[in-house]
Structure 1
């Protein structure tokens, strides 16, 4: 019997409704550790916040019960309780049991919203033992319960009470005269969907409510935590900041730091265009959008910078296009002001950089966007491209007015002088360190002969590419900018340092070359200030072996050169997999990074009438690219995509490395068996 006859229709799996969330929770909530549990809470409270943003709610109360359940109450309009014509379900059951259902995909329900991926409350419902919702609306009190997303009735309190499946929304009473409407949700998340030890972080909840209260000054937030030792007793904390972002800047500014300027509050709006689907799902080009911008910032006498970014009240930990616009505007407007102000810059002195402008700054960047695009369901980074220009335009105008208006010109000049002084100190320190560092590294020891070094004596701009194989080295040598890009080829896979001793590690020729070239030592004696390059970029093939090599190199840096990762100076290059070319007068070349992206791009080009050269070639390795292709896609700082390697939680990262690459086989085997069901078998290239 052949493999084809063994594989039939009965082997296909179709996940319906919320089953997909339970099967792959990390896909919908970002992770299955404590961050995933925190994300469940964020999804629920963000729905209440959207009511407050729209002016429909003035209070949000969060209660953390002693039994582990979380309750969120608001005094907004309440989830619609009427019957949805198409599905035949009540509005409550529809939004809590169906993915991509709600009032945030068009219509007049919400002008802006934090949750537009459509898996928020329904994903929480799917991953909860019990999920209770009470809606006060149109004079009635409605109630409904769910068990792992299935509607029904619990006969008693708590998640272990007997449960009977039953669809439908019950009316359990009438609202009191003058009572406001609203929604109350209480859920008991199911720990089986999360890693051992994962739990809701009370401090993260507190920070979320505090930040949101800054961003929505018209709403009061209350956190109530029930005492586990004395049930029925609650510690209560309120968050309400009528001055909004101005209060937030004062809160974030370092304690004891003297302000160099007052807090500047910038508000404005602008339009941008983007491609979007209409109500029928057909893509339309150049759909007009309007975004609102709100920024508050000040400079202090210190050196630390704090820039917090938010979209529709959702914190974007990795910034995004709004932060890019903020930074561009700040650098451009203030550089212009410094150049125009007589006596600030000396002849032939370079203008300050972004680092100089941000030194000592505390800033909060907030945008309200109708349909924001994020890089992931956890919304850590805003990717809506048009926001950059909107933010840049609004902020540039304000900064020019601030530096030129006679009422604020004196204050602005103090800030401009601080920025210029910061640039001078930076350059002096860099020149002093570079002179000593390069002389010691280059003259004190012979570099490996295979190192293709760069010419610059500066560290900030220089880059060291750790290149997989000699074949890729040839193209990389021709593609690089020899002024600031150095290359170190690696033969095969380096030693797995998670299993090896320090002595064996340092005897490995490839690892010894890396340590020698970086010039900063290893382990406890590693000196980040002595490192010869500003960035280290791992450049491996976009295949399984390349992924293995990257993993081994990341392990090396995590164990013996951790400060490189902590300082954000270790990156992984992202070479493309496919090269798509079209024929005709307006021929174009597009590089894609995944099979799905390639297929989607080809389909889009063919729909637009362009003739795609087929078959689409797939790069088997970096050595197959010519110098121009490698430069454009992987090495050019202006066009390349690189992924910064981070360790958000060092202890958790070390545990993961020990599990996956350590000496103990049994825990790894158990993890592989337990995780086998999480593998998308259709994505395996066999």
Structure 2
């Protein structure tokens, strides 16, 4: 399509009603992949759970009718069907067809809720090929049908119901949006329903699934009543292998978030061996990337452990990091608050700032009390933590000698999330920019072989700094400590703690600048590390393309254009990554960190001394203090297509 040379009022497009949702579904549900497909069910179930949390619904039914259709119902108050005072149509029609409409914008209807923006139900409606809603009022059923967000018929009565009030929604996601091969996975829907039942103890969720959808190996039942009287306690006990636990009694605590009128609950259990199990929820919504409640909880528990260790004169655990402590702990933390703030409509991360300090204070105080009441369990926890920390720091003489000496010679930086392998072979250190990207990378990594070191901002330009300034720089110090091999004349090949050093920055100008500064550091301070073949550049994608329901990635503009050219007739949705921290851990793993699927650029230096001198001069001219040399290089090479082989 030719681009118009004019730009006037005629070029301004206004999308009415639910058209924006169908035009840009990624803005509302994070994309059109399998996760987004299942997120629709989550949105509807959340509405039923909100009725339960508010004290009106006692029973919820989740029924997987077929691979593309699901029914969710509750015995709550039922969506209002009377005329809306301003819109001159039923309130039901308003919430079904209007974005940002609903009863969750003030505290008089719901004290806390998963739905916040009034878009969940209307978005599901917009993205469904067919949807039927039945509202029961005083045992009388009212029914209405929709397709792709549009009303198919007027609200009509449909007999009597056993329950007095309630809502039932049956819908099928639109294959035009999600692709013909998209379907509901029984395992995912069952887990969703089960999690909600655990979180809202005493609420009955009846699960039903078409038997034809379950294969012989499936652990999902065709029918089950999900009802858990002990809530999070039961959740953690059922999810964790109880053979390796350090204490039988789960540490479960529940309390108020003081003046904020919220509730915090957590269940915590320490393990004899390393365990990776943690889940964070806000208003029963699973926040897969954690957030302020998770950060506050972890900080509070770590503070309590260190305080208890200090009282018992245990110097090793007294200095333990959060990673040291939570390597041995499984936990679930859940909060209920009014007006929570999330990063995005999919609510993967809680960002309400006030929650962090309350969770920190509550977790610390509650766990202090638990440790003092359960002295035997507390002693076991301290003993195992001490043992594991000593092992991790290679105090045990049976560990690999090379890695042991590296650990003994250096103090590892606090921000380093180290790998667990006790050998150098096969290990990798990813140097990433910022805590946000670092957080995603930590979740995406292979903990056995991949370590993550986030750097704050742009590191020091070593070519324009003296030795004293270099050694005083905290970020360079962190990097030197993590590598363990020394710098300059003190570089020791055998003490390098990782086989591969991988610079992983955003695929933009700032990312390129940070990569350049890091390359300058390695070329100037550790050229032998490069000559030995240890330095690499990661190649993260700049674009994500959803082509006919399938996700693919492009590392730059040219690769994106090639994909567009090769798929001219396909329906394509394009999103641009603003940075690594914006990528979901699964995406980052698939595209940039998985050894089987990623791309790496190996950094090489010339072995011959004359060429090496030329390389050093070029780096000094471009990155040194002399601006005239830099200007001269730019003016001489501005019109050239330059490819530098360093």
TM-score by length of 1: 0.63
* Residue number among 186, 206, 211 corresponding to 1:202 in the alignment: 186
Residue 392 of structure 1: how far off its partner (Å) = 1.1
- In structure 1, how many angstroms separate the alpha carbons of the residues matched to 2:456 and 2:90? 58
- Contact 2:201–2:227, Cα closer than 8 Å, also in 1: yes
Structure 1 residues 96 and 403, CA gap change in structure 2 (3 angstroms):
same
- Contact 2:186–2:213, Cα closer than 8 Å, also in 1: no
Q: Does 1:170 align with 2:170?
A: no
* Aligned-residue RMSD, C-alpha: 4.5
Alignment-derived partner of residue 268 in structure 2: 297
- Contact 2:262–2:335, Cα closer than 8 Å, also in 1: yes
Alignment-derived partner of residue 342 in structure 2: 374
SS of 2:249's equivalent in the other structure is coil
- In structure 1, how many angstroms separate the alpha carbons of the residues matched to 2:537 and 2:372? 41
- Contact 2:458–2:514, Cα closer than 8 Å, also in 1: no
Structure 1 residues 335 and 215, CA gap change in structure 2 (3 angstroms):
same
Alignment-derived partner of residue 315 in structure 2: 345
- Contact 1:462–1:485, Cα closer than 8 Å, also in 2: no
SS of 2:142's equivalent in the other structure is strand
Alignment-derived partner of residue 416 in structure 1: 382
Superposed CA deviations along residues 42-71 of structure 1, whole A, max 9, x for unmatched, are 101111111111221121111222372111
Q: Does 1:538 align with 2:505?
A: yes
SS of 1:483's equivalent in the other structure is helix
How many residue pairs are counted as aligned between the two chains? 491
Structure 1 residues 49 and 570, CA gap change in structure 2 (3 angstroms):
farther
Q: 1:97-246 alignment to 2 at 5 Å?
A: 97-153=97-153, 168-175=154-161, 179-195=163-179, 197-228=181-212, 235-246=222-233
Residue 17 of structure 1: how far off its partner (Å) = 1.5
Alignment-derived partner of residue 75 in structure 1: 75
Q: Does 1:333 align with 2:333?
A: no
- In structure 1, how many angstroms separate the alpha carbons of the residues matched to 2:213 and 2:508? 56
Residue 460 of structure 1: how far off its partner (Å) = 10
- Contact 1:299–1:361, Cα closer than 8 Å, also in 2: yes
468-477 vs 111-120, which deviates more?
A: 468-477
Residue 473 of structure 1: how far off its partner (Å) = 7.1
Structure 1 residues 436 and 147, CA gap change in structure 2 (3 angstroms):
same
Alignment-derived partner of residue 322 in structure 2: 354
Alignment-derived partner of residue 247 in structure 1: 234
Alignment-derived partner of residue 247 in structure 2: 260
* Residue number among 366, 369, 376 corresponding to 1:401 in the alignment: 369
Superposed CA deviations along residues 208-233 of structure 1, whole A, max 9, x for unmatched, are 01111110112111222224499xxx
SS of 2:475's equivalent in the other structure is coil
SS of 2:244's equivalent in the other structure is coil
- In structure 2, how many angstroms separate the alpha carbons of the residues matched to 1:189 and 1:381? 25
SS of 2:335's equivalent in the other structure is strand
Superposed CA deviations along residues 268-310 of structure 1, whole A, max 9, x for unmatched, are 11246xxxxxxxxxxxxxxxx3321000111122211311111
- Contact 1:97–1:149, Cα closer than 8 Å, also in 2: yes
Q: 1:460-475 alignment to 2 at 5 Å?
A: 463=453
- Contact 1:126–1:148, Cα closer than 8 Å, also in 2: yes
- Contact 2:460–2:476, Cα closer than 8 Å, also in 1: no
Unaligned 5+ segments in structure 1 are 154-167, 273-288, 445-450, 452-458, 488-516, 521-527, 550-568, 573-643, 647-651, 681-686
Superposed CA deviations along residues 85-123 of structure 1, whole A, max 9, x for unmatched, are 011221211111111111111142111111113210110
Residue 542 of structure 1: how far off its partner (Å) = 4.1
Structure 1 residues 423 and 678, CA gap change in structure 2 (3 angstroms):
closer
Structure 1 residues 395 and 435, CA gap change in structure 2 (3 angstroms):
closer
SS of 1:330's equivalent in the other structure is helix
Q: 1:246-645 alignment to 2 at 5 Å?
A: 246-254=233-241, 256-271=243-258, 289-342=260-313, 344-345=314-315, 351-405=319-373, 408-428=374-394, 434=403, 463=453, 481-485=475-479, 530-531=498-499, 536-538=503-505, 541-542=508-509
Structure 1 residues 271 and 469, CA gap change in structure 2 (3 angstroms):
closer
- In structure 2, how many angstroms separate the alpha carbons of the residues matched to 1:519 and 1:30? 45
TM-score by length of 2: 0.66
Residue 175 of structure 1: how far off its partner (Å) = 4.4
Residue 381 of structure 1: how far off its partner (Å) = 0.7
Unaligned 5+ segments in structure 2 are 215-220, 410-423, 425-430, 432-448, 482-490, 517-535, 543-547, 577-646
Alignment-derived partner of residue 604 in structure 1: none
Structure 1 residues 380 and 20, CA gap change in structure 2 (3 angstroms):
same
- In structure 1, how many angstroms separate the alpha carbons of the residues matched to 2:380 and 2:541? 37
660-669 vs 359-368, which deviates more?
A: 660-669
Structure 1 residues 421 and 486, CA gap change in structure 2 (3 angstroms):
closer
SS of 2:344's equivalent in the other structure is coil
- In structure 2, how many angstroms separate the alpha carbons of the residues matched to 1:67 and 1:532? 44
Structure 1 residues 546 and 358, CA gap change in structure 2 (3 angstroms):
same
Alignment-derived partner of residue 643 in structure 2: none
